[in-house]
């Protein structure tokens, strides 16, 4: 496909259908005439669709609202024929369109085995073209009930979209995925937003995603679901909402992915015996309850720190399952109350080394990153993230999930898989300290951790002292690889913690990656102390294999070469310290197998 794709009006489609859709361009050659583009017709539908979408993304203009099918058909008669005659390009039925266009899409997709119904975002019009009545919509769609595979309705723009909900009561034998999202800012009859299903009409339903809906769970085929996502979905048992949630999980025997997001206190029953209506503890029926999820692969919770532990203490997940937690606003909320010290960020939420959560109890790789938010991730496997170590080249590196969106979707999914565990404290503070968080890591994660990565901002007024570093090293005696990539260069107390005469820590430590600034007041002393600590370890058979120093320099400082004529930042790996540290350079090279200096130029 070549040339600019110009949009045409949707109303012209019916007129174009009357023209000869089989018109092709022929060229003469030695062996006769050849039809241009015949290879396109033989491409797999997904490949052809991807080619078209990539071409459109490269030529589209900002604010473009014309459907991609209309844009492609406007290129030439050949491409119009390709799109018009391919039923798979018309399987997405937009319920916000006119009845004529909906009928046209249904006709053109007649030879496709399935269709998908959708209404609204992402990136769609703010106004529907027409508000079809419930009966009118049903009369158009009902002949195609047997082909509906997916339903995706965003109800935040127009309450008219709620008229599509009754369609879900019909017998939909092939419906496998249902996504319903409602914006509570819209004033509507609550009954219109209540989901009532007939489980006998949905034999193929496997995935449900609901936001701000009221659900009659007796009509949902819970036992056959493999994916369930609930976002601010009201639980009906106000006296014991946690028990209701556990009932749902227990009934979902085939569940592989579960995501639950709730408002503060949503899982806390009200203590009716309390005069002020305070939240009570779990009742006796729930206190000792444990729900096993043998098929779960991804378990995600979003909520305040008071609610998440109520769920975690009652579930058991397999060793290969992922646990993803998101705790919004805990730091800001705590500081608003006038407290000078942060609340526990891990110990108050995570059960320490719980055998029911293997992603914690069996963790081998661990990272803490304090920036504006707080991230703690852990892994039980040697995934590419821990092999590539992207934070070593870029201290600001932040992983992106799902991996398919990294670099415009060009990185394969296998490159950066989700970790076995991740907890995020969003809306953090600008000046967080690592020391209390390091103490919590020691309690929460097992001593079998092999890799520890410490990243973030260490406030100058709240330095991590030697005892804190020493406690961290003692807590993880099996540590083999340690990366301290903390900003503000707070590694001065670390070398003293690396060596203790009576009981040296981390006997298996082989790789050390440190970031600090030689230009700060303690830079030279820190380097000298590091040499002494490594000398003691080497003398006692604890020699390091790899040492990397991550240094920072301004562009105009040419200190990294004795007779430098070129900027030092041409090569990020210099393999040497500044010239005035040549004796220290030789000393470090004698104490480790591989010594590398990595330079980052600060503009």
Distance CA 203, CA 224 (A): 8
- Confidence (pLDDT) at 30: 47
Q: Are 494 and 513 in contact (CB under 8 A)?
A: no
pLDDT in tens, 395-434: 777 665 444 333 333 333 444 567 899 988 875 555 566 7
- Confidence (pLDDT) at 133: 75
For residues 67 and 178, state if they share a domain: no
Distance CA 123, CA 570 (A): 43
pLDDT in tens, 375-394: 899 999 998 889 888 888 77
For residues 47 and 100, state if they share a domain: no
- Confidence (pLDDT) at 56: 62
Task: Give the predicted TM-score (pTM) of the model.
Answer: 0.79
For residues 164 and 180, state if they share a domain: yes
Q: Are 300 and 209 in contact (CB under 8 A)?
A: no
With a cut of 60, say whether residue 187 has pLDDT above it: no
Of 61, 85, 109, the domain-final residue? 85
- Confidence (pLDDT) at 432: 61
With a cut of 50, say whether residue 565 has pLDDT above it: no
For residues 141 and 80, state if they share a domain: no
- Confidence (pLDDT) at 579: 75
For residues 454 and 467, state if they share a domain: yes
- Confidence (pLDDT) at 206: 96
- Is residue 142 situated within a structural domain? yes
Residues above pLDDT 70, as percent of the chain: 68
- Confidence (pLDDT) at 67: 66
Relative to beta strand 451-457, strand 257-261 is: unpaired
Q: What's the pLDDT band for 75 if we cut at 50, 70, 90? A: confident
- Is residue 426 situated within a structural domain? no
- Is residue 394 situated within a structural domain? no
For residues 182 and 62, state if they share a domain: no
Residue listed under structure tokens 């444990």:
290
Helix ranges, 93-240 (H):
99-108, 134-141
Taking residues 250-258, report their average pLDDT.
94
DSSP state of 507: T
Tokens of 110: 């007649």
For residues 524 and 596, state if they share a domain: yes
Distance CA 240, CA 552 (A): 55
- Confidence (pLDDT) at 14: 43
* Phi, psi for 85 (deg, rounded to 5): -90, 0
**At what angle are helices 435-444 and 466-475 packed, to 10 degrees?**
20
For residues 70 and 219, state if they share a domain: no
With a cut of 80, say whether residue 295 has pLDDT above it: yes
Please give the tally of structural domains in the chain. Answer: 3
Average model confidence (pLDDT) across the chain? 75
- Is residue 347 situated within a structural domain? no
| Residue 230, H or E segment | strand 227-231
Cα separation of the two ends of the chain: 43
- Is residue 314 situated within a structural domain? no
CB atoms within 10 A of CB 190: 8
pLDDT in tens, 188-227: 555 556 788 888 999 999 999 998 888 888 889 999 999 9
For residues 137 and 204, state if they share a domain: yes
Q: Give residue 37's region: left, alpha or beta (phi > 0; psi -120 to 50).
A: left
- Confidence (pLDDT) at 378: 94
Q: What's the pLDDT band for 263 if we cut at 50, 70, 90? A: confident
- Confidence (pLDDT) at 46: 72
With a cut of 80, say whether residue 320 has pLDDT above it: yes
Distance CA 367, CA 42 (A): 48
With a cut of 50, say whether residue 570 has pLDDT above it: no
Range of the domain at 149: 88-234
For residues 79 and 119, state if they share a domain: no
Distance CA 496, CA 504 (A): 11
Q: What's the pLDDT band for 452 if we cut at 50, 70, 90? A: very high
- Is residue 553 situated within a structural domain? yes
Choose among 505, 371, 490: nearest CA to 449: 505
Of 40, 67, 85, the domain-final residue? 85
Of 57, 85, 113, the domain-final residue? 85
For residues 601 and 586, state if they share a domain: yes
- Is residue 572 situated within a structural domain? yes
- Is residue 213 situated within a structural domain? yes
Distance CA 329, CA 109 (A): 47
Identify which of 43-47, 158-162, 260-264 has the greatest average pLDDT. 260-264
Residues above pLDDT 90, as percent of the chain: 27
For residues 32 and 160, state if they share a domain: no
Taking residues 535-553, report their average pLDDT.
88
């Amino acid at each position: 496909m070549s040339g600019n794709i110009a949009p045409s009006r949707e109303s012209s489609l019916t007129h174009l259908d009357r023209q000869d859709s089989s018109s092709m361009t022929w060229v003469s050659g030695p062996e006769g005439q050849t039809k241009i583009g015949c290879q396109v017709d033989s491409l797999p539908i997904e490949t052809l669709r991807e080619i078209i979408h990539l071409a459109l993304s490269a030529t589209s203009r900002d604010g473009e609202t014309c459907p991609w099918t209309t844009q492609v058909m406007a290129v030439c008669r050949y491409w119009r024929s390709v799109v018009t005659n391919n039923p798979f390009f018309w399987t997405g039925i937009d319920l916000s369109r006119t009845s004529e266009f909906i009928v046209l899409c249904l006709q053109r997709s007649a030879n496709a085995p399935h269709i998908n119904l959708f209404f609204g975002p992402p990136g769609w019009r703010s106004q529907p073209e027409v508000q079809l009545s419930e009966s009118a919509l049903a009369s158009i769609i009902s002949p195609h009930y047997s082909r509906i595979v997916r339903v995706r309705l965003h109800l935040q723009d127009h309450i008219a979209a709620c008229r599509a909900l009754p369609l879900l009561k019909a017998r939909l034998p092939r419906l496998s995925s249902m996504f319903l999202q409602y914006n509570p800012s819209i004033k509507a009859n609550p009954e219109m937003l209540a989901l009532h299903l007939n489980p006998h009409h949905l034999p193929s339903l496997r995935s449900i995603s609901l936001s701000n809906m009221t659900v009659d769970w007796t009509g949902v085929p819970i036992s056959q679901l493999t994916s369930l996502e609930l976002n601010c979905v009201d639980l009906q048992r106000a006296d014991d909402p946690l028990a209701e949630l556990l009932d749902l999980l227990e009934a979902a025997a085939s569940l592989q992915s579960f995501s639950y997001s709730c408002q503060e206190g949503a899982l806390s029953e009200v203590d009716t015996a309390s005069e002020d209506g305070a939240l009570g503890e779990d009742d006796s029926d729930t206190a000792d309850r444990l729900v096993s999820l043998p098929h779960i692969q991804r378990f995600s919770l979003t909520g305040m720190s008071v609610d998440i532990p109520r769920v975690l203490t009652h579930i058991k997940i397999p060793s290969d399952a992922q646990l993803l937690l998101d705790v919004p606003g805990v730091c800001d909320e705590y500081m608003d109350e006038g407290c000078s010290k942060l609340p526990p960020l891990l110990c108050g939420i995570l059960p320490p080394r719980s055998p029911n959560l293997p992603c914690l109890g069996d963790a081998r790789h661990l990272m803490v990153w304090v920036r504006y938010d707080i991230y703690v991730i852990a892994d039980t496997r040697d995934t590419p993230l821990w092999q590539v170590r992207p934070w070593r080249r870029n201290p600001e590196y932040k992983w992106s999930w799902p991996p398919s969106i990294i670099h415009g979707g060009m990185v394969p999914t296998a490159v950066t898989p989700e970790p076995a565990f991740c907890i995020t404290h969003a809306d953090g503070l600008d000046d967080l300290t690592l020391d209390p968080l390091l103490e919590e890591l020691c309690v929460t994660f097992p001593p079998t951790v092999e890799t520890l990565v410490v990243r973030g901002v260490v406030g100058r007024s709240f330095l991590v002292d030697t005892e804190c570093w020493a406690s961290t090293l003692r807590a993880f005696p099996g540590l083999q690889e340690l990366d301290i990539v903390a900003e503000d260069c707070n590694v001065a107390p670390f070398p003293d913690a690396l060596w203790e005469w009576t009981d040296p820590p981390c006997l298996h430590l082989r790789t050390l990656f440190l970031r600090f600034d030689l230009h700060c007041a303690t830079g030279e002393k820190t380097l000298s102390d590091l040499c002494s600590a490594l000398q003691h370890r080497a003398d006692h058979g604890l020699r390091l294999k790899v040492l990397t120093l991550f240094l920072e320099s301004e562009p105009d400082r040419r200190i990294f070469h004795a007779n430098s004529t070129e900027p030092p930042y041409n090569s990020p790996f210099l393999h040497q310290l500044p010239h005035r540290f040549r004796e220290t350079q030789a000393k470090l090279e004698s104490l480790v197998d591989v010594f590398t200096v990595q330079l980052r130029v600060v503009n």
